[in-house]
Amino acid sequence: MIPRQILAAASAVAFIALGAPALRAAEEVNVYTYRETRLVQPIFEAFTKDTGVKVNVISASSGLEQRIKAEGSNSPADVLLTVDIGRIDDAVQAGVTQTITSETIDKIVPAQYRDPAGQWAGISMRARVIYASKDRVTQSAITYEELADPKWKGKICIRSGQHIYNNGLFAAYVARHGEAKAEQWLRGVKDNLAQKPSGGDRETARDVAAGKCDLGIGNTYYWALMMNADPEKKPWAEATRVILPTFADGGTHVNLSAVLLARHAPNKSNALRLIDWLVGETAQQMYADANYEYPVRAGITLNPTIAGYGKLSADPTPIASIAANRKAAATLVDKVGFDN
Ligand code: FE
C-alpha cells in the first residue's frame, strides 16, 4: 500500500499548491489522513452526498503532524484522521490540534475513548488479540498475563516490541500493573518467544500457520482481512483461531482510530460537521463493514467475522491513561532487550 499512498500524497500536494484559493471556499473540508483510501473514500463520498460539503483528502503513511506544523497558520488542514494512541498522542504533542467542542461527540463517544482535554475523539476500535494455532492450541480463553507463563516457552510470535501496536498493549499493562510487574511480565513473554520479533501482524499469523509458533499476537482486523479479502493469505487465517484475551481481572486491550481538529482549521464549522458525521450511524456502519473495526457508537451491527471472535469486553482503562504510559513501556522494551 505504501507506494500508492505516497503517490496519493504527492498528487494531493500538487492539488493544494494549485488550488489554494479554492480550498478557502465555504463548503469544503480538508482532511489529512493516515487511513487507507479504500476505507475513507466511500465514507467521504457519503458525507458529501449527505451534506453537500466537499472533502479534499491528503493521504500519507507518515509525517502528517510535521507537515501541519510546518505549514503553520497557513495550513489548509481541517481534520486529521489517524490510528493508534501513539500517533494520536504524537499529533497532540506536536501542537497541531485544537479542542473539539461537540455535544454529539460527548454524547456518542464513551468517555474512555475521548481525550479529557478534548484534543481527540475515538471513531472506531481495534483489539490486540491472539491468533492461536487451531491444531496445537486447545484452550479457548487466555489472559495477557498468561503470555509470560513458562508453559508457552518457545511458542509465541510477535512483531517488534517498539511497534505502536505493542507499545499500546504494553503501556496498558503498565497502566494496569505498574512498571515493576510489567517489566517482570515482559521478561517472561520475551523468554517465551519462538523467534526474534519481526514482520507485521499478518506475518505473525503466517508463522503460526507454518508451525514456528503456537500463539501470535495481532490486531482483530488483519485476521478478518486475510480471511475475507486476501485469498493468498487466507490459509494463514484458516490455520489460526482468534482468541480475545483479557487482563486477569477482565478487559481486552483496544486501541483507537481517532479524529482530531487541526489547530488552524480554515473550515472549522465544516470540520466539526464532518467530525459529528463520523460518529453517525452511516459512517459507523461503514467502519464496521469496510475496515472490520469496532464502532464507538452503540447499536451498530458488527461485521460477522468480527462478531465471530466472541463478545468484546474492552479494557475500561481510559486511552488517555494508556498514552501516559507509552514512554515507560518503550523504556521497558529496551531494558529487557525484547527485540534482541
Ligand atoms: Fe494496522
Whether residue 37 lies inside any domain: the answer is yes
Span from the CA of 223 to the centroid of ligand 1 (angstroms)? 11
Q: What is the per-residue pLDDT for 138?
A: 97
The Cα–Cα gap between 60 and 62 comes to 6
Q: What is the per-residue pLDDT for 251?
A: 97
Residues 133 and 119 grouped into a single domain: no
Q: What is the per-residue pLDDT for 36?
A: 81
Counts of helices then strands in the chain (DSSP H, E): 15, 10
Whether residue 309 lies inside any domain: the answer is no
Span from the CA of 45 to the centroid of ligand 1 (angstroms)? 23
Span from the CA of 139 to the centroid of ligand 1 (angstroms)? 26
Q: How many residues does the chain have?
A: 340
State the CB neighbour count (10 A cutoff) for residue 12.
Answer: 17
Span from the CA of 222 to the centroid of ligand 1 (angstroms)? 7
Q: What is the per-residue pLDDT for 35?
A: 85
Here the CATH number for the domain that contains residue 141 is 3.40.190.10
Instruction: Tell me how far CA of residue 251 lies from CA of 83, 125, 181, 254, in angstroms.
Output: 21, 14, 18, 9
- Total tally of structural domains belonging to the chain: 2
Span from the CA of 201 to the centroid of ligand 1 (angstroms)? 8
Say what angle helices 164-177 and 179-192 make with each other, to 10 degrees.
130
Residues 218 and 143 grouped into a single domain: yes
Whether residue 340 lies inside any domain: the answer is no
Span from the CA of 260 to the centroid of ligand 1 (angstroms)? 19
Residues 132 and 215 grouped into a single domain: yes
Residues 165 and 24 grouped into a single domain: no
- Torsion, Cα 140 142 148 149, to 10 degrees, reads -60
Q: What is the per-residue pLDDT for 255?
A: 94
Q: What is the per-residue pLDDT for 65?
A: 93
Whether residue 82 lies inside any domain: the answer is yes
The Cα–Cα gap between 340 and 202 comes to 21
Bridge partners, 44 (sequence order): none
79 contacts 54 by C-beta, under 8 angstroms: no
Per-residue pLDDT tens listing for the chain (340 residues): 334 444 444 444 434 444 444 444 569 999 999 988 878 999 999 999 999 999 999 999 899 999 999 999 999 999 999 999 989 999 999 999 999 999 999 999 999 999 999 999 999 999 999 999 999 999 999 999 999 999 999 999 999 999 999 999 999 999 999 999 999 999 999 999 999 999 999 999 999 999 999 999 999 999 999 999 999 999 999 999 999 999 999 999 999 999 999 999 999 999 999 999 999 999 999 999 989 999 999 999 999 999 999 999 999 999 999 999 999 999 999 999 999 9
The Cα–Cα gap between 285 and 294 comes to 9
Residues 153 and 201 grouped into a single domain: yes
Count Cα atoms within 13 angstroms, Cβ side, for 181.
10
Whether residue 308 lies inside any domain: the answer is no
The x, y and z cell numbers of residue 115, run together, are 481525550
Span from the CA of 84 to the centroid of ligand 1 (angstroms)? 9
Q: What is the per-residue pLDDT for 26?
A: 63
Whether residue 306 lies inside any domain: the answer is no
Span from the CA of 111 to the centroid of ligand 1 (angstroms)? 24
Span from the CA of 19 to the centroid of ligand 1 (angstroms)? 32
Instruction: Tell me how far CA of residue 288 lies from CA of 108, 155, 203, 283, 302, in angstroms.
Output: 16, 32, 24, 9, 6
3-state secondary structure at position 260:
strand
Residues 15 and 160 grouped into a single domain: no
Span from the CA of 238 to the centroid of ligand 1 (angstroms)? 20
Ordered alpha helix ranges (H), 94-232: 103-108, 164-177, 179-192, 201-209, 220-229
Residue 220: which domain range? 126-253+315-335
The Cα–Cα gap between 197 and 195 comes to 6
Q: What is the per-residue pLDDT for 259?
A: 98
The Cα–Cα gap between 281 and 287 comes to 10
Residues 166 and 118 grouped into a single domain: no
